[in-house]
Amino acid sequence: MKSGKKLRSDIAWSTSDRIGVLGYDLCRDLIGKVSLGDMGFLEVTGRLPDARESKMFNALLVTLVEHGIVPSTLAARMTHAGAPEAMQAAVAAGLLGLGSVFVGSTENAARMLKDALPDPGNKTDLRALAEKVVDDYRADRRILPGLGHPIHKPVDPRTGRLFNIARATGFNGPYIDLMKRISKRAEKVLQRPLPINATGAIGAIACEMNLPWQVCRGLGVMARAVGLVGHVLEESRQPIAMEVWHRTETESSAHTRGKLRQKK
Amino acid sequence: MKSGKKLRSDIAWSTSDRIGVLGYDLCRDLIGKVSLGDMGFLEVTGRLPDARESKMFNALLVTLVEHGIVPSTLAARMTHAGAPEAMQAAVAAGLLGLGSVFVGSTENAARMLKDALPDPGNKTDLRALAEKVVDDYRADRRILPGLGHPIHKPVDPRTGRLFNIARATGFNGPYIDLMKRISKRAEKVLQRPLPINATGAIGAIACEMNLPWQVCRGLGVMARAVGLVGHVLEESRQPIAMEVWHRTETESSAHTRGKLRQKK
Amino acid sequence: MKSGKKLRSDIAWSTSDRIGVLGYDLCRDLIGKVSLGDMGFLEVTGRLPDARESKMFNALLVTLVEHGIVPSTLAARMTHAGAPEAMQAAVAAGLLGLGSVFVGSTENAARMLKDALPDPGNKTDLRALAEKVVDDYRADRRILPGLGHPIHKPVDPRTGRLFNIARATGFNGPYIDLMKRISKRAEKVLQRPLPINATGAIGAIACEMNLPWQVCRGLGVMARAVGLVGHVLEESRQPIAMEVWHRTETESSAHTRGKLRQKK
Amino acid sequence: MKSGKKLRSDIAWSTSDRIGVLGYDLCRDLIGKVSLGDMGFLEVTGRLPDARESKMFNALLVTLVEHGIVPSTLAARMTHAGAPEAMQAAVAAGLLGLGSVFVGSTENAARMLKDALPDPGNKTDLRALAEKVVDDYRADRRILPGLGHPIHKPVDPRTGRLFNIARATGFNGPYIDLMKRISKRAEKVLQRPLPINATGAIGAIACEMNLPWQVCRGLGVMARAVGLVGHVLEESRQPIAMEVWHRTETESSAHTRGKLRQKK
């Protein structure tokens, strides 16, 4: 195979006495000056956040850190049960489930909003736009992302909190407005409560912050890695994986235990 | 197999209108109030940090976020090249290499210090203790963790910065002192520069903050997940994986290309 | 959340003196009687293969085991460099890249064929069907899966071998015929060589064997796990990861080394 | 960092019309000629097995493929629940738990035997050697690997089957003998049944086959990857992950639900 392309990464460099990270001096500008969440903003945008960006961005991440016992934390705990010497592998196993079912809806919401309104500066009839989005999704039999929640009913408490912070930090704009109108329209058309859930709120705010929709899954991955470390540490002190295994094995194989095919 | 143990996790719960995370109300106490790094402190200690703990803890994490092109970021980029639709898998692949060779030295340093000085309140002759630690490691032919660096010579610039912050936040104590004495003693005995590197500094500060050594790998995992997201995003814009692959394949198989065993 | 569904898995059970695997007695019927590849057939179909199924299925798997230095084997080797104590993690890192870019084309080919010809018993004008498939893919600007190869030109040597075995084992039927006609038609319409590659051949044969297209990625995963173990073992004896890292780091950061933003 | 080492891999190469794998022509010598298990032997030893090696090696792998619902298959199923689009990630998550707790005992058994008897051709008093091994492990308070099983009592049915095949294929030698004597001695000294389990039998047979102990974990990884594919496919048809999640969440958080710290 032919090759010859120059390799290039703009992220970091080291010399004997200095480390550069995206143009900042790690020791002078970052360590002791900024928080882990700000480093996340730096990694996804290439620059440090200002104060209101830092507040909003950290709020998005903090919302995503912890969901208690869910499939991804159970995958991490199951992995720890077999390989307690490799915490990094348990956290990695937990991240692997952050796919289309749970974390995907944040990026889907951001993408829906950005596709509908590519330029937020454009004067648009958001009400008509929301109707069109809902109608298009229904016509394609696609699920509207970021709406509804199995537990948080009739409203998701995280959404109001995040939108309040967006207002306080100046990130309240057309994408949040559009998301609200889509929720209203969907509730009217589908005749059931479809409040904006946390993933919908985060998707809308990511658009307000001018983050590309591709970044949204990354927010979930960063934040959940922090939470997964906590679950692995709890599992090492107060395990549940072995008990969940034994119960699941016993029940799931009960109907077949002892049964073999006829030998031919 | 017998079972019957009660399942118990203290981390989180949800009701229709509220979410509890380690005793805090997610919407009232955490979102918009604390940073991602503070959530990390909460996950590993079970409580929020005070201001000086927050500053010190975030400084440790920020130090670990980014190391540029290293084996773990290359593993993430290689994975992205094959499965660009699954960012979480690329980040997970990057985390999997955070094992004994790179990240392990932080926990090894913390463990060495904690084993040598289980109770930091004890009046101890730290100079004699440092001599004993160095002698014991040499006798067992074990590598002293947290000392020396292939690039950052004669000193690791991160160490001084972290120790300055430790002084400013009141986390300067016997573990940092002991680590410095171990470095001095090792340099004298082994007759070469062995300054405290970043992993040694972080291990010592973790002890000062009363974090168990088992937590140290978790700090690396949290921080590197943030950095790995940045590498995957850069790889999607400005790829290097395919070129590295082609060059490596071409060179590594050149000696054998076209050669087959004699057919018997 | 409500629950109450019965848990059920039909795969295996154990008692003190016996182990059942999909209805077979592990010790009596499987160990020493069947090969690893046959176990793969059992896992994906729920029954053991007959002799011709075994021959064809193992041929598909053997084709997929080894591709030398590729992104997934490099990801495994990079992971091993950081965590040599965790071979399972290095293999897992290698599997994570088996996504849409490389392994996905097998399932895409199988799906294309199965969608075009849901019932292989139906008398159909395969020539007209091939034209329709090619036209539809072009109209949707989708890439035709399973055709063309950057190295194996003008033909992929694996394809002829696999089709010969399909003929010898009685798995030569309408899906292979349709795949050949799609290749011919695509070459004519697109005016360039587009021979059936190994993933296209495997996708077609999987259809002939009545394996659902969802199974195809599983074949790649099983087979590549075997090859990845070999790469990790070679890396431990004869490492390349560290050297590839150093070269890549040096070149990719050269343009930015030493450069910092102006301090504001 | 300095570099300059030549990159070298002996595993595979491709030209336009030929593919070499460890010196064999993939299309002429491997596809349609050998089984997946034989490819595994090739990957770990560098050559194809003869008939008796093939039988014994496949028997070892077949033993390890399937253990039903265990922590690793649950981790895979949990991952599938979140990312059903990425089967490779679910299998990878399952592999990540193949660490020290379950799969590690095979390599520990092989290592124990090889350390005790580095050269199998040496005339040794195996009875005395077994006594010494048991005494040494007890003195160091280490667990003797490969002995005892929570379910398979008083004997592990896989062990007898594997040793029968070893006898039939000529792999019955001093390591199996030594393992049996260690089991006997341990039962006498510890006063409880400690029969050789499957991991002990596989470790001993691996030594008889002259496979390095480092290879043993690889056998487990290869074999379990095959089984994990079956579990992911079953989970997609007949899911249990969501139900296990809901039950576990409900029970594990019941004691804390609704409880918050006093606001200070």
Inter-chain CB proximity C1 and A92 less than 8 Å: no
Task: Determine which of A148-157, C35-44, C252-261 has the lowest per-residue pLDDT on average.
Answer: A148-157
CA-based nearest distance A174→chain C, Å: 33
CA closest to B152 among chain A residues: A16
Inter-chain CB proximity A10 and B234 less than 8 Å: yes
Q: Which of C9, C27, C232 sits opposite D240 (nearest CB)?
A: C9
What pLDDT is recorded for position A25?
98
Tell me how far CA of residue C263 lies from CA of A13, A143, B68, in angstroms. 18, 48, 22
Q: Is A84 on the interface with D (CB under 8 A)?
A: yes
What is the tens place of the pLDDT at every residue in A131-144?
999 999 999 999 99
Q: How does DSSP classify residue D243?
A: H
Residue from C1, B261, C26 nearest A261 by CA: C26
Beta bridge partners of D147: D196
Q: Following DSSP, what letter does each residue of A106-164 receive, concatenated?
A: HHHHHHHHHHH-S-TTS---HHHHHHHHHHHHHHTTPPPTTB--SSS-S--HHHHHHHH
Q: Is A91 on the interface with D (CB under 8 A)?
A: no
Q: Residue C1 above 60 pLDDT?
A: no
Helix axes C87-95, D216-237, angle to 10 degrees: 40
Q: Is C264 on the interface with A (CB under 8 A)?
A: no
Q: Which residues of A touch C86 (CB under 8 A)?
A: 83, 85-86, 89
What pLDDT is recorded for position D192?
93
What pLDDT is recorded for position B122?
85
**How, if at all, do strands C18-21 and C12-15 pair?**
antiparallel
pLDDT-derived band at A257 (thresholds 50, 70, 90) equals very high
Contacting partners of chain A (3+ CB pairs under 8 A): B, C, D
B146 torsion bin: left (phi>0), alpha (psi -120 to 50), beta (else) = left
Residue from C94, C36, D216 nearest B75 by CA: C94
CA-based nearest distance A123→chain C, Å: 33
Average predicted confidence (pLDDT) for chain B: 96
Q: Following DSSP, what letter does each residue of chain B receive, concatenated?
A: ----PPP---SEEE-SS-EEETTEEIIIIITTTS-HHHHHHHHHHSS---HHHHHHHHHHHHHHH--SS-HHHHHHHHHHHH-TT-HHHHHHHHHTT-STTTTHHHHHHHHHHHHH-S-TTS---HHHHHHHHHHHHHHTTPPPTTB--SSS-S--HHHHHHHHHHHHHT--SHHHHHHHHHHHHHHHHHTS---B-HHHHHHHHHHHTT--GGGHHHHHHHHHHHHHHHHHHHHHHS--HHHHHHHHHHHHHTTTTT--PPP-
Contacting partners of chain C (3+ CB pairs under 8 A): A, B, D
Tokens 């948080």 correspond to A152
Other beta carbons within 10 angstroms of residue D221's beta carbon come to 25
Q: Is C160 on the interface with A (CB under 8 A)?
A: no
What pLDDT is recorded for position C104?
87
Q: Is C256 on the interface with A (CB under 8 A)?
A: yes
Q: Which residues of B touch A153 (CB under 8 A)?
A: 16
CA closest to C7 among chain A residues: A252
Q: Is C81 on the interface with D (CB under 8 A)?
A: no
Inter-chain CB proximity A35 and B58 less than 8 Å: yes
Helix axes C241-253, B71-82, angle to 10 degrees: 90
Please tell me the distance from the alpha carbon of residue D176 to that of residue D174, in angstroms, as a whole number. 6
Other beta carbons within 10 angstroms of residue A48's beta carbon come to 19
Spell out a b/e string for D189-214, using b for 16 or more CB atoms within 10 Å of the CB, else e: eeeeebbbbbbbbbbbbbbbbebbbb
Contacting partners of chain B (3+ CB pairs under 8 A): A, C, D
Q: Is C250 on the interface with A (CB under 8 A)?
A: no
pTM over 0.90: yes
Half-sphere exposure of D165 (CA within 13 A, CB side): 29
Q: Following DSSP, what letter does each residue of C66-111 receive, concatenated?
A: --SS-HHHHHHHHHHHH-TT-HHHHHHHHHTT-STTTTHHHHHHHH
pLDDT-derived band at C123 (thresholds 50, 70, 90) equals confident
What pLDDT is recorded for position B3?
64
How large a percentage of chain C has pLDDT more than 90?
93
Q: Is D104 on the interface with C (CB under 8 A)?
A: no
Average predicted confidence (pLDDT) for chain C: 96
What pLDDT is recorded for position B64?
97
Q: Is A207 on the interface with B (CB under 8 A)?
A: no
CA closest to D92 among chain A residues: A93
Beta bridge partners of A147: A196
What is the tens place of the pLDDT at every residue in C41-67?
999 999 999 999 999 999 999 999 999
Q: Among A78, A101, A235, A244, which would you mutate to test the D interface (most chain D Cβ atoms within 10 Å of its Cβ)?
A: A78
How large a percentage of chain B has pLDDT more than 90?
93
Q: Which of D3, D42, D157 sits opposite C247 (nearest CB)?
A: D3
Q: Which residues of A touch D70 (CB under 8 A)?
A: 245, 249
Q: Is C149 on the interface with D (CB under 8 A)?
A: no
Chains C, D: CB pairs < 8 Å:
292
What is the tens place of the pLDDT at every residue in D16-42?
999 999 999 999 999 999 999 999 999
How large a percentage of chain A has pLDDT more than 70?
98
Please tell me the distance from the alpha carbon of residue A173 to that of residue A207, in angstroms, as a whole number. 9
Q: What is the mean pLDDT of residues C168-183?
A: 98
- Asked if residues A100 and A213 have their Cβ atoms less than 8 Å apart, the reply is no
**How, if at all, do strands D19-21 and D12-14 pair?**
antiparallel
What pLDDT is recorded for position B198?
97
CA-based nearest distance C25→chain D, Å: 11
Per-residue pLDDT of chain D (264 residues; tens, 9 = 90+): 456 899 999 999 999 999 999 999 999 999 999 999 999 999 999 999 999 999 999 999 999 999 999 999 999 999 999 999 999 999 999 999 999 998 889 999 999 999 999 999 988 999 999 999 999 999 999 999 999 998 998 899 999 999 999 999 999 999 999 999 999 999 999 999 999 999 999 999 999 999 999 999 999 999 999 999 999 999 999 999 999 999 999 999 999 999 999 866
pLDDT-derived band at A3 (thresholds 50, 70, 90) equals low
What share of residues in chain C are helix, strand, coil (percent, to 5)?
60, 5, 35
The ipTM assigned to this model is: 0.96
Q: Is A7 on the interface with C (CB under 8 A)?
A: yes
Inter-chain CB proximity C253 and B69 less than 8 Å: yes
Q: Which of A9, A89, A256 sits opposite C86 (nearest CB)?
A: A89
Q: Which residues of C touch A258 (CB under 8 A)?
A: 13, 15, 18, 20
Q: Is B150 on the interface with D (CB under 8 A)?
A: yes
Q: Is A50 on the interface with D (CB under 8 A)?
A: no
Inter-chain CB proximity A18 and C256 less than 8 Å: no
Q: Which residues of B touch C100 (CB under 8 A)?
A: 83-85
Tokens of C101: 């870019």
Q: What is the mean pLDDT of residues A218-233?
A: 98
Residue from B163, B157, B188 nearest B177 by CA: B163
Q: Is C143 on the interface with D (CB under 8 A)?
A: no
Q: Which residues of A touch C23 (CB under 8 A)?
A: 259-261
Q: Is A15 on the interface with C (CB under 8 A)?
A: yes
Q: Residue C77 above 90 pLDDT?
A: yes
pLDDT-derived band at A123 (thresholds 50, 70, 90) equals confident
Residue A155 has phi, psi (to 5 degrees) of -130, 155
Inter-chain CB proximity D71 and A82 less than 8 Å: yes
pLDDT-derived band at C232 (thresholds 50, 70, 90) equals very high
Higher pLDDT, A123 or C215: C215
Higher pLDDT, B3 or A153: A153
Q: Is B260 on the interface with A (CB under 8 A)?
A: no
What is the tens place of the pLDDT at every residue in A16-25?
999 999 999 9
Per-residue pLDDT of chain B (264 residues; tens, 9 = 90+): 456 899 999 999 999 999 999 999 999 999 999 999 999 999 999 999 999 999 999 999 999 999 999 999 999 999 999 999 999 999 999 999 999 998 889 999 999 999 999 999 988 999 999 999 999 999 999 999 999 998 998 899 999 999 999 999 999 999 999 999 999 999 999 999 999 999 999 999 999 999 999 999 999 999 999 999 999 999 999 999 999 999 999 999 999 999 999 866
- Asked if residues D163 and D183 have their Cβ atoms less than 8 Å apart, the reply is no
In one-letter notation, the amino acid at residue D40 is G
**Cis before C154 (ω within 30):** yes
Inter-chain CB proximity A218 and B87 less than 8 Å: yes
